[in-house]
A and B are shown apart, each in its own frame.
Chain A
Amino acid sequence: MSISQSLEQDEVTGLLKVLRTLYLYRVPLLVGLLLACISFLVIYPIVALSIIAFLPTKFSAFYGTIPWHKAFEEPGMWQSALNTLAIVAATQFIALPISIFIAWLLARTDVPGARTFEFCFWLMFFLPSLGVLTGWLLLFDPNFGLMNEWILALGLASNPPFNLYSFWGIVFVHVTTYGIAVKVMLLTPAFRNLDSAIEEASRICGAGRLQTLVRIVLPLMAPAIMVVLIMSIIRGLETFEIELILGAPIKLQVYSTKLYLLMSDSPPEFHAAGTLGLSMLALIIPLILLERWSSTRRSYVTVNGRGNPASVQLGVWRLPAFVFLLLFVSSISLLPFLMLIAGSFMTLFGFFDLPQVWTFAHWSKALSDITFLSSLNNMLTMGFGAAILAVVVYSLVAYCVVRVRTRLAGPLDLVSWLPICVPGVVLSFGYLNMSVQVPLFAIFYGTVWSLIFISFLSAMPLGVQVLKVHMLQLGNEIEEAGRVVGGSWHTTFRTIIVPLAAPALAVVGIIVFASTIRNVASVMLLSSGNNRVLSVLQVEFLSSGSLGPAAVVGTVIMLISLTAAILVRLMSNRFGIHAR
């Protein structure tokens, strides 16, 4: 009796001991758990990709007919790689000088309305590229584009001069969407942080405005320009939807569309697609490392708010510079946006000479269409789901990386940043494999959940970064004060960190939402039928030439994105969050 009792006692104390140990180590355990989950979600798709690529073909006919070592013998594989590089090169060649010039105008000169223009470029960053593309079609379609018709009517040309369905058409859409906006957005603050005394010293020494720009300002900005250029190249390598729409009719494939095409074959060519995906990673990872290296190497730009930042007085050039910016900004943002809206109200997209040009038919049809409504519903579910998941997990990750002193913080930081290396198409391809290979994930296949996961992952590098910066700004002492007055770790986290970080969390949530609903590349392979989202529906409309309905969908996504962008801006300004 007494023996069994003491045994029980031992068991109880043993259990208590375990529980107490668990409790003592709850913080490292939490970090470890986070690290394990995120590592699995991030790394497994890449591993799955490699496994699939190098699996012998006879092992399973299910994975396609082309073995990996013959992948690049496939017609169009090399061409797609070359096309990708050519488009990236042409885009950057045009966009970079324009962006540098605009950033310099906005940051270093006294051009009127600089802050407003900067805000416009920031808004442009949020514009979904498919919506912009649809707007441009109304102007530059070879058959009915307004620009073409005007030029033909004026007798300036005998054939339609513009064709958006071409190499240069694709480059044009790239330049006008992410090409310039992101660079201006990132370069303007960098230019602004330059101490104006640095320029003034050069003037005093005897150099004119132009000499100072060329010999002092540009060399000083070179590291920042380099980082921005590499980031843009990476983004260029990942783009998907512009080429999918504009490249298909002229059989112009890039990396990402080729991969998508290989997977749309029946049977899907897993091996070849995997090989292509891996070679894409091999191309991007060195670029990422280069970007990390050049951004940490040395920063010339001293953050010194001293003196008047508008150090260059434009004099007589002030008005021309303003007019240039006004025309430029409105023609690459407002114009396609207005065209898109106009297109959604046209009986036949692009035809202004019909008896009845305008109609509400597309809108009323869409609003009663079950496919449209379910896609809208899926999109909102995906957007909100990803945003909520992101806010909870990113804040934990950011907190652990910034605050918790543990050896796991470094790896956690690295893993949270890793998805930036993986192009959307490759990521979703990896997830497709994962649902084939891992039974647990097979449950999610074909549901909105798979889209939530993938959106959560693709937005992670940016989201965690924003929160990390915010938490670093808050400083250690606020939390230490909470601990000192007697709060435990989780009380402090709940009552001090979360309320202080709340605005930043909201901003991150909205950013995740906005980037999720316009994303095509990461969801295209995973979204069809039941879990189709609006952006995918838009691709389908555009591919099948239903431009009116495509314009309706584009307008809806565009309006939601713009609302989100304005919300982010208002909140960041109010609470001083750097949402960059």
Chain B
Amino acid sequence: MTDGTLSIRRLSKRFGAFAAVESLNLAIEHGEIMAILGPSGCGKTTTLRMVAGLERPTEGGIRFGDKHFVSSRQRIDLPPEQRNIGMVFQSYALWPHMTVFENIAYPLKLRSYARAEIEVRVKRVLELINLAHLAERTIPQLSGGQQQRIALARALVYEPSLMLFDEPFSNLDTQLREQMRLELKSLRRKVTMTGLFVTHDQVEALSLADRVAIMRNGKLEQVGTPREVYRTPASKFVRDFLGRAIKLYGHRQERNGQYGVRLSDEAGTLILGQFAGLDRPASDRIELSIRPEFVTWLDESETRENCVVATIEDLLFAGEHCEARLRIGSDTVLFALPSNRNWAEGQKVRFHLPPEAVSFWPDED
């Protein structure tokens, strides 16, 4: 694979008055896998298709190494077949009139490889994905997971300099999806891959990518490693999109030079934590949030700083956890309680919020 950085500069795509992608800047280093994550309609697939050459940008440029893929200023637009990229489609897009072997051999034939060389390469890539025994099958005879891996093999076989994945696992069931994630992870140890993949599944993005770019309404919200974006989200949108967060509301307080939030419960509990993003929000109303896995449950007798007492209003047993609606003063929050204890409606519960895991956000609405 040739060495190269994919750089996307001021990329825009407008359909009439609607801006699907708005002045996007993104760089992917050689050997790095970047995930673009976002809800449907955020422009992530359009971005990927522009990198592939399947969609022409309204403005901006995409460069790979020293090769311009597309540049509105220099009036360059390489057709997809001249970009030497590999792509795995959401629907796999395997050709049903060809066998597995023919599907994978097609890009090699187009590159005029010798017959013997084609045989060797196809065999090698089929062994890589553990499907060597299926070479002569036709596509409709394969399961979804197998088709998915064949699509991957077809994209890998000609060693393209850049790999693109368009929601690669979205057509698989949950169990298969987990298995494919592990397989792709182990494949990365065998093959150096520079890649860009698009998904709306945060688990997929966090577990597979070296860095994650979160998009919303055609714009980037945040780019960072999975841990960075999960632990220190730059916006409420990123925070809520990446996972569950428990939210409580209160007023800003200052104590010994440290900021805290006073809840509106009867005890007027004071919670310490950090401001997310901004140093100090302008407004006095604060939204306090914490990822549920950082919450610890206390016995009724225990008292500590940053402790909240709540009443269970409704309780739904859901197997591995209990969905509960807790009342804290005038607020109610939805909360997943661990199901290894016997909770009851009306019960008072006490939990601890570690200050380093609590973040404060301006409560604007």
Query: A-side interface residues toward B, CB under 8 Å?
Result: 195, 197-198, 200-208, 211, 215-216, 219-220, 222, 298, 300, 302, 304, 306, 313
Chain A residue with minimal CB distance to B164? Answer: A204
B interface size (C-beta, 8 A): 29
B34 within 8 Å of A (CB atoms): no
Closest to B55 in A: A308
Do residues B106 and A202 form an inter-chain contact, with CB atoms below 8 A? yes
- Tell me if B189 counts as interface (CB < 8 A to partner A): no
Of residues A201, A211, A300, A304, which shows the largest number of chain B Cβ atoms within 10 Å of its Cβ? A201
Interface centre among B80, B83, B94, B140 (most CB of A within 10 A): B80
The 18 listed contacts between A and B (C-beta, < 8 Å) are: A197-B89, A200-B54, A201-B89, A202-B106, A203-B81, A204-B80, A204-B87, A204-B164, A205-B158, A206-B84, A206-B107, A206-B110, A206-B111, A208-B81, A215-B106, A219-B97, A220-B96, A304-B91
Fill in one digit per residue for B53-91: 1 if any A CB lies within 8 Å of its CB, else 0: 110100000000000000000000001110111110111
Inter-chain CA distance A215–B95, complex, in Å, is 10
Q: List A contacts of B95 (CB < 8 A).
A: 198, 201-202, 216, 220
Closest A residue to B104 by CB, please name it. Answer: A205
Task: Answer whether A205 and B110 are a contact pair too, CB < 8 Å, given A200-B54, A200-B80, A298-B140.
Answer: yes
Identify which of B84, B90, B110 contacts A207 (C-beta below 8 A).
Answer: B110
Once the chains bind, are A220 and B97 in contact (CB under 8 Å)?
Answer: yes
Given the complex of chains A and B, what is the CA–CA distance between A222 and B95 in angstroms?
Answer: 13
The complex places the Cα of A195 from the Cα of B96 at a distance, in Å, of 12
Given the complex, which residues of A lie within 8 Å of B84, measured CB to CB? 206
**CA–CA, A409 to B326, complex, Å?**
60
Majority-rule SS of A interface residues: helix
| Nearest CB in chain B: distance from A114 CB, A | 19
Residues of B within 8 A of A306 (CB): 90-91
Residue with the greatest number of chain B CB neighbours at <10 A, chosen from A195, A205, A219, A313? A205
B213 near A: Cβ within 8 Å? no
List residues of B whose CB falls within 8 A of some A CB: 52-54, 56, 79-81, 83-87, 89-91, 93-97, 106-107, 110-111, 140, 154-155, 158, 164
Point out the residue from A201, A208, A304 that lies within 8 Å of B79, measured CB to CB. Answer: A208
Task: Judge whether B110 and A211 touch: CB under 8 Å.
Answer: yes
Give min CB distance, B295 to chain A, whole Å. 41
Interface contacts beyond A203-B79, A204-B80: sample of 14 additional A-B pairs, CB < 8 Å, sorted by A: A195-B93, A197-B89, A198-B95, A200-B93, A201-B87, A203-B54, A203-B80, A204-B81, A204-B83, A205-B154, A211-B110, A298-B140, A302-B91, A306-B90
Nearest 5 Cβ contacts at the A-B interface:
A205-B107, A197-B93, A201-B93, A203-B80, A206-B110
A201 CA to B165 CA in the complex, in Å?
Answer: 12
A204 cross-chain contacts in B, Cβ below 8 A: 52, 54, 80-81, 83, 85-87, 155, 164
Closest CB of chain A to B28's CB: distance in Å?
Answer: 18
Who on chain A is nearest to B140 by CB? A298
Chain A residue with Cβ nearest B82: A206
* Least distance between B171 CB and chain A CB atoms (Å): 11
Which A residue sits closest to B56, measured CB to CB? A313
CB nearest neighbor in B for A311: B54
**A298 CA / B139 CA spacing, docked (Å):** 12
| A191 → B minimal CB distance (Å) | 15
Using CB atoms, name the residue of chain A closest to B88.
A201
CA–CA, A200 to B81, complex, Å?
Answer: 9
B16 to chain A, nearest CB (A): 14
Asked if A197 meets B158 with Cβ closer than 8 Å, knowing A206-B111, A220-B95, the reply is: no
B79, B93, B107 interface centre (most CB from chain A within 10 Å): B93
Report how far A197 CA is from B83 CA in the complex, Å.
Answer: 17
Q: How far is the CA of A222 from the CA of B94 in the complex (A)?
A: 17
Cα separation A216 to B154 with both chains bound (whole Å): 15
